[in-house]
Amino acid sequence: MKKIGFIDYFLDEWHAEKYPNWIKEATGGGMQVAYAYGKIDSPSGKTNAEWCAAHGVELLDSIEAVVERSDYLVVLSPDHPEYHEELCQLPLRSGKPTYVDKTFAPDRETAIRLFELAARHGTPICSTSALRYAAEYAEAAALEVATLHSVGPGRFENYAIHQIEPLIALMGGSPDRVMSIGTSEAPALLIGFADGRQAAIHHFGWECPFAMTLNDREGHAHTLKVDSDFFAVFIRQMAAFFETAEPLVAPAETIAIVSVIEYGLRAMQTPHEWVAIPTTA
């Protein structure tokens, strides 16, 4: 059995709650979460010790101990990516395959530093939104997409990646500008690409499903509503990354995704004006 170590800001959060059983089931017990570290106890839930006791995971008192004893590493903190750089320092020096939960980094420069650190130490690293693996989006991957309109729920700060990552995966190319076209209650972005194409994302209430309508290069429309179990596919992909050490997403694409989020937030300060996005790492 290969042992996985969790490294988190605090362990009592949704991803840490779900991943252990999903990983065990997806690998037939071949991979299991064995060790965990949390920087702080949850401000509003179980302590790290209580979480570990509930999941049969050994709580360790340092990131160094988790890195040393684990075969594979998962840096979580999905709603606090501002801690990823701190939490990743030892994992990315370890040479052990390391998955970093969404959103990979709070800004472009941090994302570049993390990839450079991993590269210097020969550490396989990847990060992705689980929505990338929705069957409905995968089926559209063969299309040459001219434009698309995406909708989904959640706050922009921690849910934008679930629309932006599939958008960039399907559109291809390099996003080089962004414009805020929404409101504070319903954020929306128009994203421009270097080849002149454009696409949009819109955030609505929690009742809004993830969906998109796209036009292919021949002018045909395709409407995609996500009903598939994308998390199951995502977990299998994570396990494959651990086994092969082959990243699921190219670093340049992850940097582009983080850049759209960062510059999208900047664009919200000057609505209806294009904000340029750097396109070289």
CATH number of the domain encompassing residue 7: 3.40.50.720
**Which residue range(s) make up the domain with 58?**
2-127
Instruction: Report the SS3 class of residue 74.
Output: strand
Alpha helices in the chain (DSSP H): 14-26, 48-55, 63-69, 84-88, 108-120, 135-139, 156-159, 161-171, 230-244, 251-267
- Please indicate, yes or no, if residue 104 is contained in any of the structural domains: yes
pLDDT at 280 over 90: no
Say whether both 160 and 71 belong to one domain.
no
In terms of phi and psi (left: phi > 0; alpha: psi -120 to 50; beta: otherwise), the region of 65 is alpha
Residues 154, 31, single domain; the answer is: no
Domain count, the chain: 2
| Residue 237, in any domain of the structure | no
For residue 195, name the pLDDT band (cuts at 50, 70, 90): very high
Which of 104, 127, 150 is a domain's end point? Answer: 127
Residue pair 124/245 in contact by the 8 Å Cβ criterion: yes
- Is residue 19 pLDDT above 90, yes or no? yes
Considering all CA atoms of the chain, what is the largest pairwise distance in Å, rounded to the nearest integer?
Answer: 57
Q: Is the domain of 163 the same as that of 267?
A: yes
Q: Are residues 99 and 205 in the same domain?
A: no
Separation CA 88–CA 238 (nearest Å): 17
22-76 pLDDT, tens digit per residue, is: 999 999 999 999 999 999 999 999 999 999 999 999 999 999 999 999 999 999 9
Q: Are residues 267 and 167 both part of a single domain?
A: yes
Is 78 found in the same domain as 140?
no
Is 38 a member of any domain?
yes
pLDDT band at 232 (very low <50, low <70, confident <90, very high): very high
> Is there a single domain that holds both residue 206 and residue 87?
no
- Asked if residue 252 is part of any domain, the answer here is no
Where does a domain end: 76, 111, 127? 127
> What is the reported pLDDT for 38?
98
Q: Determine the pLDDT at residue 279.
A: 83
The number of beta carbons lying within 10 Å of the beta carbon of residue 193 is 18
**Average pLDDT of the segment spanning 231-235:** 97
Whether omega for the bond prior to residue 103 falls within 30 degrees of 0, making it cis, is: yes
pLDDT at 145 over 70: yes
> Which of these three, 66, 101, 127, is where a domain ends?
127
For the segment 5-16, the average pLDDT, to the nearest whole number, is 98
The CATH code of the domain that includes 174 is 3.30.360.10
Identify whether 253 is part of a domain. Answer: no
Task: State the DSSP H helix or E strand holding residue 129, giving kind and residue range, or none if neither.
Answer: none
Q: Is 152 within a domain? A: yes
20 and 153 in one domain?
A: no
Residues 272 and 177 in one domain: yes
Residue 180 lies in a domain: yes
How large is the average pLDDT for residues 115-125?
98
Residue 101 binned pLDDT confidence (cut-offs 50, 70, 90): very high
List, as one string, the DSSP characters of 169-216.
Answer: HHH-S-EEEEEE-S-SSS-EEEEEETTS-EEEEEE--TTPPPEEEEEE
| Confidence (pLDDT) at 173 | 84
Q: Report phi then psi at 71, rounded to 5.
A: -85, -40
Confidence category of residue 174, pLDDT binned at 50, 70, 90: confident
Query: What is the average pLDDT score of the chain?
Result: 96
Q: Are 174 and 279 in contact (CB under 8 A)?
A: yes
Higher pLDDT, 219 or 276: 276
Is 266 found in the same domain as 148?
yes
Same structural domain for residues 108 and 137?
Answer: no
pLDDT at 281: 57
Q: Are residues 116 and 148 in the same domain?
A: no
**Model confidence, pTM:** 0.95
Say if residue 165 is exposed, middle or buried (CB neighbours under 10 Å; 0-12, 13-18, 19+). Answer: buried
In a domain, 95, yes or no: yes
